Structure 1
Amino acid sequence: MIRRALAVLLAALVLTAGAAQAAQAAGYRYWSFWDRDGDSWSYATLGPSLSRPDDGDVQGFRFAVSEDSKDATRPRGAAEFSVICARTPARDGKKRVALVLDFGTAADAPSGERPPARRTVCARVDPDATTADALAAVAGPLRYDSNALLCAIDGYPRKGCGEQVAQGEKPAGTGSTAATEPDDDPEGGASVGLVAGVAAVVVLASAAVWQARRRRG
């Protein structure tokens, strides 16, 4: 009975350690790409080199640390085509695409770099131009990696491309829900619930060992 209780305790500790390791899952520092749909942003389903926006579309880019598309941080500020392209008149044989470029916060910036201020630009390009073409026309230089991943807009950041960032290093307030949901783990360690679970397992296993000894006695 004692051996069985100890085996249960050991298994529980192994599972708990695995859960703690999962809680430390890494995020990534990268440029996310968004489509404007009415008054809200939706994560783009195509990359900028494949997306072909229509005349009058609004698209956005945001540099931040995110775990995945569900956690990605949206571009900030107003994003109205009529405002962004007000000083770029329409022209025959061309289309206009409004772009929101949000370089993120200092907390999301790579070490030693400072993000430029958020800005909006209007690209007037050929009708068959992709988002990447529009971006290159108004926000170069761009930088891509060998897999065609967008690494830098207007030269920011100077280096790095989608690098992994440990969960404990992720700045507070970078997630899309960070403004409304408190950080359960501000120090990047195991959560309170996880610690409580470990304590409960230890108590139950200890009780089982004590009960077994009592019966044998």
Structure 2
Amino acid sequence: MRCRSLAALPAAAAALLLLAVAAPAHAAGYRYWSYWLRSGSSWTYAQTGPAMHIPADGSVEGWRFAVSEDAAATAAQPRGTADFARVCAGHPAAPGRKRVALLIDPGTAADAPGSATPPSPRTACAQIPASASSADALAAVAKPLRYNSAGIVCAITGYPATGCGDEISATSHSSHDGPSVGLIAGGAAIAALAVAATWQSRRRRR
């Protein structure tokens, strides 16, 4: 009985492989503004919302509009660097105030909704009260802002004009029609199981 079940496994695995390759692709991700913190020479995806984060004087933050598969692992980072001394040059420290350098990157044409043309990336120095949040810093330099009912940033400086965290299908945001990397990887794993099962089945028959 055990040998028969092992012998049947390769056929089942092959069927699963065909289903994996033929299966329709899932959503490629979501189109949204992601929020980043600058530390040294690298960007880190913010773990809290901008309204909950209180930046210190001299902080550098970034915003990037793009299509990303999930929140942190594949989210597109702001392009370029934002040096605080350069961005906030000419803005001296003041009592009770702080300065936050921002890099606002509206992304590329490939990530733009419909036929919209994204504005060029820009930097700005927000001068805000010492107790103000990152959301306040953004509002100080990037109006008009648009939020949804959940408080998610939908538009910065009016871009994009519509939509908010829209789900994007793989077919509308892919440069090819073949199976996705995830499907190929899954198919390869199934094929490997089939080969292993065949080898074990033949070994037990000897």
Normalising by the residue count of structure 2, what TM-score does the alignment of the two structures yield?
Answer: 0.79
Q: Does 1:156 align with 2:159?
A: yes
Question: Which among 189, 196, 207 is matched to residue 178 of structure 2?
Answer: 189
Give 1 or 2: higher strand fraction: 2
Q: Does 1:89 align with 2:92?
A: yes
Residue 15 of structure 1: how far off its partner (Å): 5.7
* Aligned residues with identical type, % of pairs: 50
Residue 18 of structure 1: how far off its partner (Å): 4.5
Long gaps (5+) in structure 1: 172-185, 205-217
Q: Match for residue 132 of structure 2?
A: 129
CA separation of 1:98/1:168 partners in 2, compared to 1, >3 Å: closer, same or farther? same
**Paired residue total:** 189
List aligned pairs for 1:139-178, cutoff 5 A: 139-170=142-173
Question: Which among 31, 44, 49 is matched to residue 33 of structure 2?
Answer: 31
Q: Does 1:99 align with 2:88?
A: no
Q: Match for residue 48 of structure 1?
A: 50
Paired residues of 1:96 and 1:125 also in contact (CA < 8 A): yes
Higher deviation after alignment, 118-127 or 10-19 = 10-19
Question: RMSD of aligned C-alpha atoms?
Answer: 3.2
Residue 187 of structure 1: how far off its partner (Å): 1.1
Paired residues of 1:143 and 1:152 also in contact (CA < 8 A): yes
List aligned pairs for 1:58-77, cutoff 5 A: 58-68=60-70, 69-77=72-80
Paired residues of 2:32 and 2:67 also in contact (CA < 8 A): yes
Residue 169 of structure 1: how far off its partner (Å): 2.7
Cα deviation, 1:89-121, whole Å, max 9, x if unaligned, reads: 222210000010001001110002110000000
Counterpart secondary structure, 1:137? helix
Residue 23 of structure 1: how far off its partner (Å): 5.4
Residue 14 of structure 1: how far off its partner (Å): 4.1
Q: Distance in 2 between matches of 1:31 and 1:40?
A: 18
Paired residues of 2:27 and 2:167 also in contact (CA < 8 A): no
Which one scores higher on RCO, CA 8 angstroms, separation ≥ 6?
Answer: 2
